[in-house]
Amino acid sequence: MTGQQLKNSILQMAVQGKLVPQDPNDEPASVLLERIRAEKEQLIKEGKIKKEKNPSVIFRGADNLPYEKVGKNEPVCIADEVPFDIPESWEWTRIGNVFQINPRNNLPDELETGFVPMALLSDGFCSRHSYDPKKWKDIKNGFTHFANNDIVIAKITPCFQNRKSAVVTGLPNGFGAGTTELHVLRDNTKELFMPYFLLICKTQAFIQDGVKNFSGTAGQQRIGKDFISKYLIPVPPVSEQERIVQRLHLLEPLLISYENAYDSIVNQQKNFPAQLKRSILQYAVQGKLVPQDPADEPASVLLERIRAEKEQLIKAGKIKRAKHESVIFRRDNSYYEKVDGIERCIDDEIPFEIPESWEWTRLSTIARILGGKRIPAGRKLTTENTGHVYIRVSDMKDGTVIQKGLLYVPEDVFDSISKYIIKKEDVFITVAGTIGRIGRIPLELDGANLTENADRLVFSSLNQDWMIFLLQSPFIQNQIAEVTTKVGQPKLAIARIEKLLIPLPPLDEQTRIVEQIAAIFSQMKKL
DSSP 155-186: -BTTTTTTT-EEE----GGGEEEE-SSEEEEE
CA torsion angle 288 289 290 291 (round to 10): 20
Q: Is the dihedral of CA 440, 441, 443, 446 positive or negative?
A: negative
Residue of 472, 466, 462 lying closest to 429 (CA atoms): 472
Residues 6+ apart with CB under 8 A from 447: 421, 422, 423
CATH code of the region 3-262:
3.90.220.20
DSSP, collapsed to helix, strand or coil, labels residue 144 as strand
Q: What is the pLDDT of residue 265?
A: 84
Low-confidence ranges of the chain (pLDDT < 50): none
Quick: pLDDT tens for 256-274.
Answer: 888 888 888 888 778 778 8
**CB burial of residue 175 (10 Å; 0-12, 13-18, 19+):** buried
H/E/C letters for each residue in 291-341?
A: CCCCCCCCHHHHHHHHHHHHHHHHHCCCCCCCCCCEEEEEECCEEEEEECC
pLDDT of residue 1: 85
Distance between CA 503 and CA 510 in Å, rounded?
11
Alpha-carbon gap, residue 59 to 93, rounded angstroms: 9
What radius of gyration do the chain's Cα atoms show? 37
- If DSSP codes are grouped into helix, strand and coil, which group holds residue 57? strand
Going by the DSSP 8-state scheme, the letter that residue 228 receives in this structure is H
Using DSSP, state whether 392 is helix, strand or coil: coil
Gap between the Cα atoms of 347 and 349, Å rounded? 5
All residues at 6 or more sequence positions from 511 whose CB lies less than 8 Å from its CB, including other chains: 463, 466
Cβ atoms of residues 427 and 471 within 8 Å: yes
Helix (H, G, I), strand (E, B) or coil at 202: helix
Please report, as a single letter, which amino acid is at residue 428: F
Residue pair 155/223 in contact (Cβ under 8 Å)? The answer is: yes
Tell me how far apart the alpha carbons of residues 280 and 286 are, in angstroms, rounded to a whole number: 10
Report DSSP letters for 394-449, one per residue.
Answer: GGEETTEE--TT-EE--HHHHHHHTT-EE-TTSEEEE-BSS---EE---GGGTTEE
CA of residue 206 relative to chain centroid, distance: 26
Count CB atoms within 10 A of the CB of residue 79: 11
User: In the 8-state DSSP scheme, what is residue 107?
Assistant: -
Beta bridge partners of 145: 177
